[in-house]
Copies of this chain bind each other. A is one copy, B any other.
Amino acid sequence: MLGEIIAIGNELTSGRINNTTSGFAAHHLFEAGFDIYAMHTIGDTPALIGEALKRALNRVDFVLVTGGLGPTDDDLTTQAVSEALNRPTMPNLEILSLIRQHLDAHTGQPASSLDKLAWLPEGAETLNPGSKMAGFQLIHGGKPIFFLPGVPHQMKTLLVEQVLPRLATWYQGKQLTSVQRVYKIFGKTENEINELIDQLKLGDCATIGYYPVFPDVHLSMILRGNNSSTTESRAAETFHRIEEKLGTLIYGRDQESMASVLGTILTKQKKTFSVAESCTGGLVSSLITAVAGSSSYYLGGVTSYANSMKHTYLGVENSLLEQFGAVSHEVAEAMVRGMQEKSGADISISITGIAGPDGGTTEKPVGTVFIGLAQKSGIEVSHHLFSGTRYEIQQLTAQTALNIVRKQLLTT
């Protein structure tokens, strides 16, 4: 079953906003067994909107349209669709009455500026009438078209809660079974991974994709078939061979992040963790705490950006800072020792380096990073040289630091 996605908005074609909703929709539709023939992004131009929608209806089984449903003057989707499909707009009384309950903050009167939201093309059915979110469905020529708001969290909510269940019922029994898995790999290029996988001679049994997703590489495997149990056993065998081949190069899969994988290991080993970071400026800590439940293993950390902070909060001697400089093996060691002792964590890391764009020297160029690792058994410091922009160096450093902890815990 084939679908097309049309995203609407001048903010997208002028490149001011990145379109994140189409990818989200494609991902969930794909997982539900639907293929996406194409995704289009066009401006708030009624003629273009109508043309794209009519062309899509001619070649695929369903269409998802996002954006341009809001109350502001640049929201033109509903009008364009009404004209293109020759379905005059009619007021939806349910929505109108909901809007009339909403008082204008300034005048205390019903907010008539929102009335526009209640006028929908003839035959439209609202997707979630009880909510405050725009979004409706039209069946045109026997094919469903879904119109969702462009605001990412509204679009995502309606897609998952309304569109996917409706499509599943609509097309019940017509889908192929598909099994998809994504392996997340850090520390090898896509070409190096391709060469390793080629050695397995997997043939045509799976569609394989190699995707550099900075700072990782994602290895995607898709297996499809008519019969769900044979497809799944074929998938299990393929996945097993890949995992055997790549070993700990694979740090996680699917929705896992380096930080979530590390969290799982720390939880399992009942260990606590703390971080002293300088050039990553809180990024490592932020990645860790983006994971729900991280408070059960993460104690916290210090962002010792200024030298005074390294001394005051981590107990790094000023003489050390003067003699070796803040970016040095010695200071990384002192930082992690101070962090671990004072926080009482089972395992701690320290990071000191030069993220750039300024601050590099011939001896210590931009990208120079020292990472300290402390456990009760002792301290190790490693030296790295990353390249890229400030953003890239910070991301590579953070991912490397988390990976060092992951590997250390896996071998103990």
Interface, chain A (partner B; CB < 8 A):
9-20, 22-30, 35-44, 48, 52, 70-74, 105-106, 113-114, 151-153, 180, 182, 190-192, 194-195, 198, 207-214, 218, 220, 222, 272, 274-275, 278, 280-286, 288-290, 292-295, 298-306, 308-309, 312-313, 342-344, 356-359, 388-392, 394
Q: Let me know if B289 and A282 touch, CB within 8 A.
A: yes
Copies in the complex: 2
Which B residues touch A394, using CB under 8 A? 289-290
Name A11's contact: one of B194, B218, B312 (CB within 8 Å): B218
Instruction: Judge whether B15 and A25 touch: CB under 8 Å.
Output: yes
Whether A305 contacts B299 by the Cβ 8 Å rule is yes
Rounded to whole angstroms, the CA-CA distance of A210 and B153 in the bound complex is 16
Taking chain A's interface residues, is the majority helix, strand, or loop, or is none over half, making it mixed? mixed
14 sample A-B contacts, Cβ–Cβ < 8 Å, listed by A number: A16-B211, A17-B213, A18-B20, A19-B19, A38-B40, A38-B52, A113-B195, A153-B388, A282-B288, A285-B305, A290-B394, A300-B303, A300-B309, A300-B313
Q: How far is the CB of A405 from chain B (nearest CB, A)?
A: 16
Q: Closest 5 interchain pairs by CB?
A: A281-B289, A15-B27, A282-B285, A15-B26, A300-B305
Query: Is A13's CB under 8 angstroms from B39's CB?
Result: yes
Pairwise interchain contact B312-A306, C-beta atoms closer than 8 A: no
Q: Is the CB of A28 within 8 A of B11?
A: no
Are B26 and A14 interface neighbours, CB within 8 A? yes
**Distance A11 CA – B190 CA, assembled complex (angstroms):** 14
Chain B's nearest CB lies how many Å from the CB of A15?
Answer: 3
Residues of B within 8 A of A28 (CB): 15
A185 to chain B, nearest CB (A): 14
Nearest residue, chain B, Cβ from A19:
B23
Given A41-B39, A281-B294, does the pair A24, B17 have CB atoms closer than 8 Å?
Answer: no
A39 CA / B12 CA spacing, docked (Å):
9
Partner of A14, one of B222, B292, B298, B391: B222
Minimum C-beta distance from A356 to chain B (A): 7
Task: Name the distance in Å between A149's Cβ and chain B's nearest Cβ.
Answer: 10
- CB atoms of A191 and B72 under 8 A apart: yes
- Cβ contacts under 8 Å, A300 to chain B: 278, 281, 302-306, 309, 313
Taking a contact as CB atoms under 8 Å apart, the answer to whether B17 and A12 are in contact is no
B-side contacts of A292, CB under 8 Å: 356-358, 390
Least Cβ–Cβ distance between A85 and chain B, in angstroms: 20
Known contacts A38-B52, A72-B210, A342-B312, A299 near B290 by CB under 8 Å: no
| Assembled-state Cα–Cα distance A151/B392 (Å) | 14
Q: Closest chain B residue to A281 by CB distance?
A: B289
Q: Is the CB of A392 within 8 A of B194?
A: no
Chain B residues with CB below 8 A from A284, complex form:
282
